[in-house]
Structure 1
Amino acid sequence: MLLRPLVRKTFLNHFYHEIQDQKLDETHSRINLHILKIANNKFDINPLFRELSNSMITFCLSKKEYQQYVDQQRFGELNIAAQEKFRDYQSNEGEFGELLLYCFLETHLEAPKLLTKMNLKTSHNDYVKGADGIHLLQVDNNEFQIVFGESKMYQTLRGGINKAFESINSFLNHSKNNVEYELQLINSHLAQEIVDDQTYDQLKKIIFPSAKEDVIQTNHAFGIFVGFNLKITNEMKKLSNTEYQKQIRQLVSEQVKKEFKHIDGLVDKYDLYGYSFYIYCIPFVKIEDVRKAAIKRLKGEVS
């Protein structure tokens, strides 16, 4: 492996993996449903926040930046440098989802990052258009995929899925902020993610393969994260811990399975048959409150 993922596999320990790599019948789509561990009839989210406080460092900083801090033993500054990249929680609608997608692509898909837009920000208030992140997946010996990230935090699962595919369609057809623009960003920033010349040269051949050589095959794919709101009734809250967990996992699993045909339909609607989609879904209770709490924790504004 030319690049290695930097997010710890322990990230996945915070979730029940309810639906695992479900392949859809008509498209190159794989669906994963992860549900946060449940304790005392609630999603146990604080341990996830602690895990993300580690993962956010390599999400926000380039590998060279990260290595410089480590080499100089400036460990306390590492966290501060990452915290300063996040927008304030009042106006920060997407960066929590982007971080979760980054973690899933690094750990579950085992696709190391080439670039995240957080790397490009010079101020926490910057807003960088385009893909939420770009990762490299090795499919076979000489077959690769450049995986463009798209994350949505939405009130409904279907609404989030619709918005994600709408954004992907716009991205592919945009005159400026499109695939070619993103590849040029990789080209100009790749040196910040690679620590040795040999790996740099190899990656350039993968990202920009030559048709003359006809050895390396590189296609484009999309990693999608959809966080959605889950409404809990008073009757459910009164269930025993065991029954509550059972019902929540079953309820959410059924919700996601109902979207399989809809996802195939969106691929057909936008004529995206030539692309692979790696879709990750997570339910939250009071999703807006969770989003705000997450950004506050990541920025170090609460203990």
Structure 2
Amino acid sequence: MDDDADLIERFLALARGEDQALLAFLPPFDDAVLVPGTATTVRTPFVAHDINGAPAVDQLAGTMAGAVLDFCIPRAKTEKANAEYRETGSTSSLVALVEQARDLFVKSEKSGEGGELLLFLLMERLLHRPQLLSKMALKTNTQVHVHGSDGIHASLADDGVLDVYWGESKLYASSSDAFKDCFESIAPYLSPDGDSRRRQDLLLVRDHLNVDEARLAAHLLEYFDDSNPKTLQVRWNGVCLVGFDHANYPNIAALTDANRAAVTAAVKRWHKTVFSRVEQFEVLSVGIDLFCIPMPDVATLRARVLERMGVK
């Protein structure tokens, strides 16, 4: 058991970054809520405001851009560059990796990759579920989005169960479109038998597992070996990011009673929408973490992230 506990602790340690800066720019409006009649937990953060009353979109974009290396580049490559820095004092290899990561992004302000990057941050920094696969690193055409799910993360439980989280992110101007398209996209990965998309992503995990410590990697790969009984201990889950434009954007740190009541009513409407989509796509009993993020303007956030990364 001590050996298993050590593996679990080492796996948890793979989650990168501190959550405080992200929480400062994306504070929660209320506690996480389990939508009645489902296994979906909804968190509703809002973009914070600065002391001048302006939404901190640029600061959030900077935090997102600062995670581009972690998001795009496999741990083995960053560790090799870190080792070179420790040995030589030169950051040239790290700088080269940052440039490589930036070059992987589609050069378009309409790209959905900003949402994927934010979902990665929320998974690693807030939920502490490490990335299993760096799909961006597998791109062969930098002007084409990666196929399949928007992210694959996991957690390892004390009882030996490996919880795999299939990610899907949608940043749309319309909340109704974002909710619908998000659940429509992720539902095939959460069905009991899965489909070709899930099987394809599992093959990628097996062949490109983003874990550079040999013994831990060997342990995890047992869960993806069809001949190993550990495959019976893999549980499928979803993690979703739904971001959308929200008019008259509220500063949730300085709400009047009337404004708080209006935001609470909006949140309840979004919860009802979540239930209807979870029911529609038949994933009522599947564990799903949903980040519902109203934004001042989705397009502005996308543009700011690219600017902060130096991508034109």
Q: What TM-score, normalized to structure 1?
A: 0.85
- Corresponding residue to 1:82 among 94, 97, 101: 101
Does residue 226 in structure 1 map to residue 250 in structure 2? Answer: no
Say what the alpha-carbon RMSD is for the aligned residues. 2.8
Structure number with the higher strand fraction is 1
Aligned residue number for residue 156 of structure 1: 174
1:21 shift after superposition:
2.1
- Mapped to 2, the partners of 1:161 and 1:75 lie a distance apart of 38
1:208 shift after superposition:
4.4
Aligned residue number for residue 14 of structure 1: 25
Q: Which amino acid aligns with 1:222?
A: G
Aligned pairs, number: 291
Does residue 58 in structure 1 map to residue 77 in structure 2? Answer: no
- Corresponding residue to 1:293 among 272, 291, 304: 304
Bigger shift: 21-30 or 170-179?
Answer: 170-179
**Is the contact between residue 22 and residue 30 of structure 1 (CA under 8 Å) also seen in structure 2?**
yes
Aligned residue number for residue 212 of structure 2: 195
Distance 1:111 1:281, change over 3 A: same
- Mapped to 2, the partners of 1:208 and 1:275 lie a distance apart of 23
Gaps of 5+ in 2: 1-8, 86-92
Distance 1:2 1:243, change over 3 A: closer
- Corresponding residue to 1:186 among 196, 205, 221: 205
- Mapped to 2, the partners of 1:177 and 1:24 lie a distance apart of 29
Distance 1:181 1:282, change over 3 A: same
Q: Which amino acid aligns with 1:255?
A: A
- Mapped to 1, the partners of 2:57 and 2:161 lie a distance apart of 37
1:38 shift after superposition:
0.9
Q: Which amino acid aligns with 1:6?
A: R
Q: What TM-score, normalized to structure 2?
A: 0.83
- Corresponding residue to 1:142 among 146, 156, 160: 160
1:151 shift after superposition:
0.1
Aligned residue number for residue 41 of structure 1: 53
Other structure's SS at 1:231 match: coil
Distance 1:177 1:129, change over 3 A: farther
Distance 1:292 1:50, change over 3 A: closer
Aligned residue number for residue 5 of structure 1: 15
- Mapped to 1, the partners of 2:170 and 2:23 lie a distance apart of 20
Gaps of 5+ in 1: none
